[in-house]
Chain A
Amino acid sequence: MKEHTDKNFESRLTTIRDQLSEMSAVVEKQLSLALNCIKSKDSDCSNTIQNLDLQVDDFEKAVRDECFEVLTLHRPVASDLRLVFTALKVSKEMERIGDHCRGLSNKAIMSKSDLDPEIMEELAALGKSVLSVVHEVFDSLFAGNQEKAKESWRRDLEIDKLYKSILKTLIDKMEKNDSIIETGTQHILIAKSLERIGDHAGNIAEEVIFNISGQYQDIEKIRV
């Protein structure tokens, strides 16, 4: 694609892309740290995540404002319009992912470590899966790879399965053992947060497909 004749316009679009890119790096870092938090329950971990979250919020505002300027002043069409549209929606999804990371890290450090190792392993597996999907979907966004985005969307199913399995396990365990109800509940919520992060990644994938193809796809058709 050629460069815009209007250099001002071109630089604004570049700014939006760069901001999104940086934002995604911070969010991935947040998620990574949050997963560590679940294992280590270290309050330092949580503090770092809080600070990163502030950055993410700033990025989201910056992207939002820049996109609005472009809409007002440059009336974008076609690829530019899709870019702005996607940036607005994706930045929001990223911001929500960041919020979830913060939330789950808080719960992680507050909970006790008296759960079975198998459950913790399942939780870790879920976390790994989510991290991998988020990473893949961000790749697909910046590389403009529709296939990769579809793949990430499909893998959300996997995440849902893992979540359901952890949920069942935890409920079973809590039914049998009253003492772990508090911890168990907290870890359900942690798992839920991870599942929600997976959903947000799926939403981002949907936007990536729109950005590349110009059309919103039916989730059923993707998943088959």
Chain B
Amino acid sequence: MVDNNNFALKTNNVYVHYGNKMAINNVALDFPKNEVTSLIGPSGCGKSTFLRCLNRMNDVIDSCKVEGSFIMNNTIDIYSDDLPIENLREKIGMVFQKPNPFPKSIYENVAYGPKIHGVTSSQSELDDLVKESLHRAGLYDEVKDRLTDVATGLSGGQQQRLCIARAISIKPEIILMDEPCSALDPIATAKIEDLINELKENYTIIIVTHSMSQASRVSTKTAFFHLGNLIEEGDTSKIFTKPDKEQTNDYITGRFG
């Protein structure tokens, strides 16, 4: 069951527009700390757009306008002018749909974040940090003998775990995952899902997925989006047993009309 009083991130009155087109219509959604929340919904429903608001990746898109309140840990306003985006992204990391390791060595990939943020003060500290991140991502044993090999030589599943290691190397509080398994085969997917289960001990995870079964396996809270609106949110087991809204029931049972 979800602990209702401990939220890593609270959002309210969120509106997102691309030019004149509305992508997110008045969404309020809270994310419990150290839990996995999944965002589900059909293509174009806005779940990825909403996710990208949380680490301000939408700022990269010129025509995108974001309104609303995003408060982290009850104190930090994500969109405040006082908070540099680079610091925000140190606290909120992201893993993308298609694994995107840098075409550098495995070591360099994981070390990049700590280097630019100046997290470590010596080479050996950095080495330890890289090792620890790879361990936590469940990748260390597979790559420990070839840390200098180029990252693009790894398999898809390994590359995605590398991206996860890269994200956690700067010790974020929240990890955003945008359909992290959609480019992977079932075995790689299962490994990542298992990893997510372990990671939630230390991080709050918000995952966008188009696979309902993944949402039901992996998350404790589920939010259903449709055409930019948040239709329903609640405990995953309730949503998958008896959702309140017929629209939700129709979507998750496969009644797409």
Contact = CB atoms under 8 A, between A and B. Distances in A.
A76 interface: yes
A213 B242 contact: yes
B20 interface: no
A75 B253 CA distance: 9
B255 A78 contact: no
A214 B212 CA distance: 19
Interface in B223-243: 238-243
Interface residues of A, number: 18
A77 B238 contact: no
B246 interface: yes
Contacts of B189: none
Contact of A78 (B213, B241, B256, B257): B241
Interface size class on chain B is 10 to 19
A2 B248 CA distance: 12
A224 interface: no
A101 to B, nearest CB: 34
A215 B254 contact: no
Contact of A4 (B246, B248, B255): B255
Contacts of A81: 240-241
Interface in A80-97: 80-82
Chain B at the A interface: mostly helix, strand, loop or mixed?
helix
A1 B255 contact: yes
A5 B256 contact: yes
B249 A1 contact: yes
B242 A82 contact: yes
A82 B241 contact: yes
A1 B250 contact: yes
B255 A77 contact: no
Interface string A1-37: 1111110010000000000000000000000000000
A79 interface: yes
Contacts of B182: none
Contacts of A1: 246, 249-250, 255
Interface of B: 212-213, 216, 238-243, 246, 248-250, 252-257
Given A5-B256, A77-B253, A81-B241, 20 more contacts: A2-B250, A2-B256, A2-B257, A3-B255, A3-B257, A4-B253, A4-B254, A4-B255, A9-B254, A75-B213, A76-B253, A77-B216, A77-B252, A78-B239, A78-B241, A78-B242, A78-B248, A79-B242, A82-B241, A82-B242
14 contacts: A2-B250, A3-B257, A6-B254, A77-B212, A77-B216, A77-B240, A78-B239, A78-B240, A78-B252, A78-B253, A79-B242, A79-B253, A80-B253, A214-B238
